Structure 1
Amino acid sequence: MDELRLSDVGAMRAMAHPLRMKILGSLRIDGPATSAILARRLNTDSGQTSHHLRQLAKYGFVLEAPDLHRGGRERWWRAAHATTSWDDLADPEAVHALEDAAHQVWAQALAQYRAEASRQEWSPEWTRAASSGDYPVRTTPEGLNALMDELREVIARHSQDGPGAETVTILLHAFPRRP
């Protein structure tokens, strides 16, 4: 799977829904599922997940997975791409809606981790390894592009499976700021 880079306003608007983002994220991280499985994973109902899966499929975010069909009426789905990014120069209203939804989902994920960590559901090693911070740098647009490309390469190099491995979410924002 590869990266889907959004520039189509209709696709951006379709993705600008927190539950759709969570559904797509679950299919990417937890693997293929039916609407009923997704409903259990995301604490919602299968009617909602079914509706949102159809919308995600319409824009190519998810694909049916007939190879997983086990009979009956169930429909299995999988993510069509490993990641999604978007063109910030597309329709400003669509970009704003998409980013608002993304930030809401990301904030919920961080809050969930923090709650789990405070209940000591993560080992001290994981709690020490998890981090947040900001790192101001002075650079040019070309320098920022180069930095982002290098960070993506570093992230890809550190992806590993094996004993003790967990899925880690890395949120990275890079934008200019005037004092």
Structure 2
Amino acid sequence: MICALNIREAYQDDFHRIHRFMELVNDEFFPPLDKREKSIDKRIQQTILNTNSAYLIAESETENNFCFIAGLIGFEKYWKSEDDAYINFLAVHPEYRGMGLSSKLEKQLELKLKQDGILYINVCTWSTNKPVLNFYEKMNYRINSVLKNDRGNGIDTIYYYKCL
């Protein structure tokens, strides 16, 4: 049973917990995270160690005070300019889907980025990932560009942006 849910910025000490979480959702990405140019380890290290990037962790605390990652969003500030950011990861634990956790993480990220003077958020996904396409459109993201067949025959990469 869930007692509390807290969203906070990740620390270096969270590395192994984040790694386990990414392994859990690995095969839901296309291509899977462990098949990409950057390994899961490098992806986490670059995000945690870079002063312009971070993860926000949604932690679930159980009755016996055990905390685990229910959701995770990663981002990089100053992606292409001084006023934009890029979401480099977003996933929710399978047991917590359908509860609005992605929206909560994205809204918390928006607040943080606005405080840092960021005006635009960018993100990309693939064309067969219908739940995520619907999510970003619901969150008022707009399509910036489409790379046809970028991830394979009939699988496009879709870049979105949002004005804060």
Which is strand-richer, 1 or 2?
Answer: 2
TM-score normalised per structure 1: 0.24
Q: Which has the higher contact order (CA 8 A, sep 6+)?
A: 1
TM-score, normalised via structure 2 length: 0.26
| Structure with the largest fraction of helix | 1
